[in-house]
Structure 1
Amino acid sequence: MSLDSSHRGDSSADSLSVDVHAERLTFNGDNSFHRELRRRVDAEFKRGGTRQRDSAQMYLKTAAILAMFALAYVALVFFAVTWWQALPLALVLGTATAGIGFNIMHDGGHQAYSERRWVNRLMALALDLVGGSSYIWQWKHARFHHTWVNVAGHDSDIDLGVLGRLSPQQPRRPWHRWQHLYLWPLYGVTAIRWHFYGDFRDMITGTVGERPFKRPKGWDLAGFVIGKLVFFTLAFGLPLIFHPVGAVLLFYSLVSAVAGILLALVFQMAHVVEEAAFPIPDEAGQRIDVPWAIHQLETTVDFARGNRVLSWLIGGLNFQVEHHLFPRISHVHYPLVARVVEATCREYGVTYREHRTFGAGIASHYRLLRRLGRPVATTGTAPVALLPESLLHS
């Protein structure tokens, strides 16, 4: 499938240019806002003499996160002999695992880490180290999610199957009435599902959610296989040499649960909240009647932008608006980009969505889950034009 640059923005999935889709879902409208926004952001970097990638700050951050991961892993596997020693190490290891995903592989996968392709590829492979597939992630996240945010049937990140209803366009099941309660612990299974089911299911079926993708071949396939072997060796092979099966399974589950909850919550705070829209394509299912950049702004919400500690830990993903508009800019520059984006939105009369605190985002996500689980579901402040009456009573 081909989309021109005004539609797809800076999506790092440009390298995956093979057309594997029978239908095309495009965007429509005047792209002058997006062009002006990009011009202003580029001008801001030139004015400050700052490179958008290859930041020394990012290289130091990478070293710190990888060191924390390695030290926690070595201490947990080779030195911990009691539960009270293993428990805090497992919590640190789970946090470091999520940190690798938020920071290192995420920038690398979006080609935002470096100007050099091989560096980006190396950093993206950090996902394979912790149990995911960087190749499938490129399709699932960088291509499908980043292009069609919150569009049911196109954005697999909002597809929980029968377990949950994250969009008003998805069918409601009777048990969804309690999803605002039971989904929180299920978020802890996110990483475990990824390790044992998600990537393998996608490879076998050749689909991500409802959308087909090109299965890996050659070096990409080798990377998939080697990555899985390395991960399962680290997660089970080495630990089983030194610890009983029960202990290995217990602490694997704990580490994965910590990582899974962190990964799931950061995504949900950005898109599955009351303020985010869930756009509906036209009757032919081939077009969304707003420009690509406006679509990103309608479906994405920032949170806790003033919390520098949180921003450092989650790779600037509390600046989700900026990330979706400029995915090829390193996340360490998002506060700079945010000032330009917010000012431009104000000038053009475009709504800029933000939760001031992480807690406010959590509360909004909770309320939306509860509303979508009711027999009559609404989506809070989402534009009425995007929510036909038939969907409100689905």
Structure 2
Amino acid sequence: MIAPKFKAQKDSFHAELKRRINDYFQQEGISTTGNYKLYIKAAVLLGGLLLLYTHLVFFTPPAWLALLECAMLGVLTAGIGFNVVHDGSHGSFSKKKKLNEMAGLCLNVLGANEFMWNTKHNVIHHAYTNIDGIDDDLDAGPFLRLCETQKLRKIHRYQHLYFWAAYSMLFFFWVFFSDYQKYFTKKVGAMPLKKMKASDHISFWAFKVSHVVFFAVLPIITVGFLPWLIGFLVYGVVVGFVMSIVFQLAHTVRETHFPVAEETTNRMEDEWAVHQLKTTANFATNNKLVTWFSGGLNFQVEHHLFPKISHVHYPALSKIVAQACADFNIPYHNIPGMRMAVVSHVSYLKQLSRA
């Protein structure tokens, strides 16, 4: 499938929005990257993961506590993905390139691959959000139907009931299948993968092997196969579900759109920034705990418009973006609460379960 082109405008909404955002940073005299609050949060999340891993593997806590710690390890892994990896991969964690690279590499340590993620997320998803056949995030078949242009199967009749089980498998699918599929097919969905350098190949296999060693071999040696298997399943299910639900609430809800390119010209109806606003939604933006833990991904609109700006600035930027949307009569999707966002997502899945 050939990637579509977006509408070009001389005096675009995007240009005006960038001007207003640039003015904000100049007036405040602050950097667009992360600050001490982000670095403290990163230290808390990474330190917590290291302590829990050490206690689980080398100190053998009682079964009830071990299961609880495995679940917490999953929560911390998702939190590191949201706050450290995500900002690092977008180059917004720090002014220093090396720190951004180190933050992004945390994804490799946790079992996935940053090279594949950058292509899937930064290059494809951010450019072609909610465009079926291009945005790989919509490809959850055959188990889930995430937009009307996808084939309706009998199993989809119940997707609003079993979606949580599918989301819980994300971590296992990503780490043990999806990365390898992209590696060997050299594609992300229908889009070609950027050519990998020798260092990328070495990094891919070295981190995949080290992940197996630290998250499988070593725990099996210290606690035994069955305790490890149960603990790893709990850990992976928590990581998968938490990450899935946060990302899905931003794009697959009743409020968002799934535009299709004009058939003869392969062009989208809107300019890129307007497309992002129509296909993306914020949620629970007044909930400080959700904002802290999700790395500002509940401010998904601001993130999609300005992915190279750290999430610590999104609450302030949201006011500027919302005002600009009101001035230009462009929709700004903001679901007030987490519960309302989940209800919207489930309702949307139920809507797609029927012809």
Question: SS where residue 94 of structure 2 aligns?
Answer: coil
Give structure 2 stretches of 5+ with no counterpart. Answer: none
1:25 corresponds in structure 2 to 4
Deviations 1:333-364 (A, max 9, x none): 11011111011111111111010001111001
Instruction: Write out aligned runs for 1:1-394 (5 A).
Output: 23-30=2-9, 32-284=12-264, 286-375=266-355
| Maintained 8 Å contact 2:60/2:223 | no
Q: Structure 1, residues 258-288: CA drift from partner, whole Å, max 9, x if none?
A: 0100000001100000000000001136211
Letter in 2 for 1:202: K
Amino acid at match of 2:154: P
On the 8 A contact 1:29/1:289 being kept in 2, the answer is no
How many angstroms apart in 1 are the aligned matches of 2:197 and 2:228?
33
Q: Output the amino acid matched with 1:203.
A: Y
Q: Which amino acid aligns with 1:343?
A: Q
- 3-state SS, counterpart of residue 26 of structure 1: coil
| Alpha-carbon distance, 1:127 to partner | 0.5
Paired amino acid for 1:180: H
Q: Runs of at least 4 residues of structure 1 off by over 3 A? A: none
Aligned partners of 2:55 and 2:61 also within 8 Å:
no
Q: Distance in 1 between matches of 2:262 and 2:292?
A: 40
Q: Quote the offset at 1:88 in angstroms.
A: 1.5
Instruction: Give 1:215 shift.
Output: 4.2
Secondary structure, aligned partner of 2:126: helix
How far apart are the structure 2 equivalents of 1:284 and 1:126? 43
Give yes or no for contact 1:107–1:331 (8 Å, CA) kept in 2: yes
Task: Check conservation: 1:203, 1:215, Cα contact below 8 A.
Answer: no
| Distance verdict in 2 for CA 1:212–1:362, change over 3 Å | same
AA at the equivalent of 2:100? N
Q: CA deviation at 1:115?
A: 2.4
3-state SS of 1:247 partner: helix
The RMSD of aligned alpha carbons is 1.2
SS of the counterpart of 2:142? helix
Q: Which residue of 2 aligns with 1:3?
A: none
* In structure 1, C-alpha distance between the alignment counterparts of 2:221 and 2:8, rounded to whole Å: 60
Q: Distance in 1 between matches of 2:66 and 2:131?
A: 42
Shift of 1:170: 0.5
- 1:357-380 superposed Cα distances (whole Å, 9 cap, x missing partner): 0111100110110110112xxxxx
Deviations 1:10-65 (A, max 9, x none): xxxxxxxxxxxx83421004352111111111111111111111412211111111
Give CA-to-partner distance per residue, 1:95-116, whole Å, 9 cap, x none.
0100111010000111111222
Distance 1:285 1:232 in 2: 47
Aligned to 1:281, what secondary structure does the other structure show? coil
Q: CA deviation at 1:85?
A: 1.8
Asked if structure 2 preserves the Cα contact closer than 8 Å seen for 1:26 and 1:288, the reply is yes
Aligned residues: 354
1:303–1:355 contact (8 Å) kept in structure 2: yes
Contact residue 52 and residue 73 of structure 2 kept, 8 A: yes
Q: How far apart in 2 are the matches of 1:286 and 1:275?
A: 25
Distance 2:277 2:225 in 1: 48
Q: Deviations over 1:116-170 (max 9, x none)?
A: 2222111111101111100000110111111111100000001112111001111
Q: Distance in 1 between matches of 2:61 and 2:44?
A: 26
Q: Which amino acid aligns with 2:262?
A: D
Contact in 1 for aligned 2:145/2:349 (Cα 8 Å): yes
Q: How much does 1:312 deviate?
A: 0.5
In the alignment, structure 1 segments of 5+ residues that lack a partner are 1-21, 376-394
**Whole-Å separation in 1 of the counterparts to 2:272 and 2:211:** 37
Contact 1:296–1:324, Cα closer than 8 Å, also in 2: yes
Q: Is the 8 A contact 1:273 1:364 kept in 2?
A: yes
Q: What is the Cα deviation at residue 188 of structure 1?
A: 0.6
